[in-house]
Amino acid sequence: MTAVAPHIPPDCQHLVAIFDRCFRRSERTCLVGGADEPFYRAATGDSGFHQIEFSHDYFASALHEIAHWSVAGPARRRQDDYGYWYAPDGRTASQQAEFERVEVKPQALEWLFSEAAGVQFRVSADNLAQGLGPSETFKDAIHNEVMRLCREGVSDRVATFCRALLAFYRPGTELASLLQSERFARSSL
């Protein structure tokens, strides 16, 4: 059901500006492209900015990293990479299962953000070396989480960002319209 807005193609510079308008001052957080690998860099001291660094200039990478930031609570946002350990590409089957367990919420939010921006969402298994694509269980869990968000609503930060994406990429579309379960077909994963 996702369609790219014909008049505004996805552009990381636009995304950086949208994010910064929403959160640079209120959350002391900025979005930065061009990184070799995604990374969240917590501010040092009271005067700096937290940085959400996304890979190269990939729109999907930026949305994914914003989703991780949206899930992280205040204590996690004060730690580099939210204090998590990351298993790189080449994970075992059990490590992949754990990856999928913790990625459900961020990928569900990335799907919401993608829909708000009018771009196609693709589930990421993030384990190319092993040839393990996303499991059907993982896809089901992401879909179930999006359905929960549609029923129960989203956090203030997620709502703020979704509204800003909608205003830019889908003018006239309200958050309530975005959170309609019909927009998120399981078959599209």
Residue 156: Cβ within 10 Å count: 8
Q: What share of the chain is helix, strand, coil (3-state, %, to 5)?
A: 55, 10, 40
Residue 32, helix vs strand vs coil: strand
**What's the confidence (pLDDT) of residue 45?**
80
Along the 189 residues of the chain, how does pLDDT read in single tens digits? 444 445 578 899 999 999 999 999 999 999 999 999 999 999 998 779 999 999 988 999 999 999 999 999 999 999 999 988 665 666 667 776 777 788 899 999 999 999 999 999 999 876 555 556 788 999 999 999 999 999 999 999 999 999 999 999 999 999 999 999 999 999 999
Sign of the CA dihedral with 100 first, then 130, 80, and 52 last: negative
**What's the confidence (pLDDT) of residue 86?**
64
**What's the confidence (pLDDT) of residue 101?**
82
50 touches 42 (CB < 8 A): yes
**What's the confidence (pLDDT) of residue 135?**
82
**What's the confidence (pLDDT) of residue 2?**
47
Q: Which residue from 81, 84, 100 is spatially nearest to 35, judged by alpha carbons?
A: 81
**What's the confidence (pLDDT) of residue 23?**
98
Which DSSP helix (H) or strand (E) runs through 150? helix 136-152
**What's the confidence (pLDDT) of residue 4?**
43
